[in-house]
Amino acid sequence: MPKLHSIPFALTAALAVTLPAQRMPVPHSGDRVLQLFDLQTLRDAQDPDAAADLAGEHVAAMLRPFVEPALGPGDDLRPLGDRWLAVLGAPAQIACIERLFQQARNHRDDLVSIDVCFFELAAEPFHTQVEPKLIQVTGDAQERYRVVLPKADAPALLDAAKQHGELLQVPRVVVPWLVPAQVDVVEVFSYIKDYELVYGQQSAIANPIIGTEWSGERSRLCAVLLANGNIGLSCEIRHQRVDKPLAETEVDLVKGAAPVKVQLPRITGVHLESVAELAPGSLIVVAAPRSDGRFLVAALTAEVVQPR
């Protein structure tokens, strides 16, 4: 997901002068205007979690690929504070985002159900059985694969992954439109990562410093209902595996005392992300190798859940 660390001068100046305004022209920027969108309006006012983190950066990453005309040099879309999304662009781009927000509000009673299937495969079956159905991402430092498969082609890939790999997890989440959700299927554990020496008058005591780590899958998901009825889906997935038992080493901290043990978790992990448009029954597949040579494959589907 792209991280934006600096705000363009035009955007900074405009916000400094007229932050209360919801829309305003921007000097020396052609026909561009600045529009603020309230992320809070996407949530149910009666929802007890409505004041929670609105995850503006994830919503911005979700929307960027679906803005028409596409965002170009000088345009910008980014979170502002805890609940606002700031858009600097042409009137047509602003109107496009307004339609996506309105679409989410109009279908607030509908929800989107997202399924994520995690598979782990050894290198040989991945390259022979699964990779031919994927597209390798070019221009990336890490080896990654990504594809959107239509409904007719999705079962063949899932069958190959099930037959030649191990199905790890199949989490499901049901969420409103444009409201990010995080799904954690993890084991959290503690370990002794260091010691702190506390000195007395005649001796020193080594107090353990406890660290925490996790093993499993963490998924950040967000969906938008598009004008053509398809679903725009954004996913960011972090996968970690920790070797057990934990490696240990002995350290002499206090002269004349027994050595203490420090634990050293060995972690292998993968970071996957994608934003794509899904027709009914389509499948997003993302994959990448872990440092131990095995491959993680994540397959995602999404469908509209009508109110009862």
Please give the mean pLDDT across all residues of the chain. 86
Write the pLDDT tens digit of every residue in 174-210: 989 999 999 999 999 999 999 998 888 777 888 999 9
Q: Provide the 8-state DSSP code for 19.
A: T
pLDDT digits 0-9 by tens, 32-44: 899 999 988 887 6
Residue 308 makes CB contacts below 8 A (sequence gap 6+) with none
H/E stretch holding 62: helix 56-63
| Per-residue pLDDT tens over the stretch 79-126 | 988 789 999 999 999 999 999 999 998 988 889 999 999 999 999 999
Query: Average pLDDT of 41-62?
Result: 68
What is the Cα–Cα distance from 255 to 249, expressed in whole angstroms? 17
Tokens representing 274?
Answer: 């994608």
Residues 188, 214 contacting (CB under 8 angstroms): yes
- Per-residue pLDDT at 28: 66
Beta partners for 174? Answer: 113
